[in-house]
Amino acid sequence: MSAPTASTVPLLRAQNLAKRFGGLMAVADISFDLYGGEILAVIGPNGAGKTTLLNLLSGLYRPTTGQLQLMGRDVTNLSMEERCHLGLGRAFQIVRPFPEMTVLENVTVGALFGKSGTSLGTARAQAWELLEFTGLSAHADKPAHELTLLQDKRLEVARALATQPKVLLLDEVMAGLRPGESQEAVELVRRVQAGGVSVLFIEHIMPVVRDLAHRVVVMDAGRVLAQGTYAQVVREPRVIEAYLGSEMSSEVGVEAEVASGAGH
Ligand SMILES: Nc1ncnc2c1ncn2[C@@H]1O[C@H](COP(=O)(O)OP(=O)(O)O)[C@@H](O)[C@H]1O
Ligand SMILES: [Mg+2]
C-alpha cells in the first residue's frame, strides 16, 4: 500500500463521533470525510443532530466517543481556538457579531483571532479585502447592528474567513433569507470554495443543497442515513422514508417517487 499523499488525506475525517446529553444520544455515530475543494452538505430532519455535529467539529463540544482528524492530525481534544488556528472556521446559525462595533472592526477581530502575531494594520487590510469579497465594503463603517439579515450573514462569513480557514463550517446561513437573497448567498459560498476553502454546510433548503453540494451526508437520529451525491441520496428509500410527511418531501420530489414506486 502506498503512503497517503496530500490529495488522498482528507482535510477533515470524522470517525464514529458521538455526543450524549444525559440520556439522549444527539449524535450517535457519525463518520465521513471532507476532501480539499469539496462542498459537503449535511441535511436531515429537525432534531437529527446536525447542529450538535457542527459543534463537535468546531470544538464547542467534546465528543462522548469518536475521533476527529484535521489534515491527518488528531484534533479530538483540541479547543475551538486551537482548531481555528489549524484551519477550522465557522459561522454560527444565530448570527452574533459584536453589535456596537463597526462591520470593519468585526472582521478585523476575526483576522486578529485567526493568526497569532498578526499586526492590527495587517488584520485591517485583510478585513477590507474580505468586505470587498463578501460585498460589504459600502457598509464598513456602520455599526454591525444596523445590517440587514443578508448583510449579517455575509458578515458572519467574512468573520469566519478572516481566520483563514481551510474548512468553513456553516450552519443554516440561508435561514430567513428571501429567494433572491439565498441565490446571492449561494454565489458567495461558491466564491469561497473557488478561493480554495472547503465548505461543510448544514441546510434545509433542498434546491440550495442540490445546487451547491458536491456530496451530501443525510443524518437521522444522530446517525448517517445515507451519503453520496444529491441525486443518489434523494433516491435512497431510507431517505425518502425519513422525509415523508415533512415539509421537505415535496421539495425533494419524494412523494412523486414514492407514488410511482408504490405501484410496481
Ligand atoms: N445542549 C443540549 N443539551 C441537551 N440536548 C440537546 C442539546 N443540544 C441539542 N440537544 C438535543 O439533541 C438533539 C439534536 O439537536 P440538534 O443537534 O440541534 O439537531 P438539528 O440541528 O439537526 O435540528 C435534539 O433532540 C435536541 O433537543
Ligand atoms: Mg440545527
| Å from CA of 6 to ligand 2 middle | 32
User: Hey, where are the domains in the chain?
Assistant: 12-93+166-256
| Å from CA of 51 to ligand 2 middle | 4
Q: Which ligand has its closest atom nearest to the C-alpha of 242?
A: 1
Atom of ligand 1 at shortest range from CA of 54: 17
- To test ligand 1's pocket by mutation, which of 20, 24, 169, 223 has the most ligand atoms within 8 angstroms of CB? 24
Pocket of ligand 1 (CB under 6 A): 21, 24, 26, 44, 46-52
More confidently predicted of 158 and 253? 158
pLDDT tens digits, one per residue of 2-56: 454 555 789 999 999 999 999 999 999 999 999 999 999 999 999 999 999 999 9
pLDDT winner (highest mean) among 16-30, 114-128, 160-174, 196-210: 16-30
pLDDT of 229 over the 60 cut: yes
Atom of ligand 1 at shortest range from CA of 219: 22
Sheet containing strand 65-70, strands side by side:
73-74, 65-70, 12-21, 24-34, 223-228, 215-220, 39-43, 198-202, 167-171, 88-91
| Å from CA of 50 to ligand 2 middle | 5
| Å from CA of 49 to ligand 2 middle | 7
- To test ligand 1's pocket by mutation, which of 25, 43, 52, 247 has the most ligand atoms within 8 angstroms of CB? 52
Are 61 and 19 contacting, i.e. CB atoms less than 8 angstroms apart? yes
The pLDDT score that the predictor gives to residue 245 is 57
CATH topology of domain 12-93+166-256: Rossmann fold (3.40.50)
pLDDT tens digits, one per residue of 247-257: 555 555 544 44
Q: Which ligand has its closest atom nearest to the C-alpha of 46?
A: 1
The Cα–Cα gap between 231 and 216 comes to 9
Cell of 17: 463521533
For 1, counting Cβ atoms within 10 Å of its Cβ (0-12 exposed, 13-18 middle, 19+ buried), the class is exposed
The Cα–Cα gap between 103 and 132 comes to 12
Phi, psi dihedrals of residue 66, rounded to the nearest 5°? 105, 175
Are 41 and 201 contacting, i.e. CB atoms less than 8 angstroms apart? yes
| Å from CA of 261 to ligand 2 middle | 31
Question: Within 13 Å and on the Cβ side, how many CA atoms surround 170?
Answer: 33
Atom of ligand 1 at shortest range from CA of 22: 4
The Cα–Cα gap between 232 and 53 comes to 22
| Residue 2 φ/ψ region, left for φ over 0, alpha for ψ in the -120 to 50 degree band, beta for the rest | beta
| Å from CA of 138 to ligand 2 middle | 31
- Amino acid at residue number 1: M
Q: Which ligand has its closest atom nearest to the C-alpha of 21?
A: 1
The pLDDT score that the predictor gives to residue 81 is 85
For ligand 1, atom 18: residue with the closest CA = 51
For 52, counting Cβ atoms within 10 Å of its Cβ (0-12 exposed, 13-18 middle, 19+ buried), the class is buried
Q: Which residue in the block uniquely carries the three cell numbers 415539509? A: 247
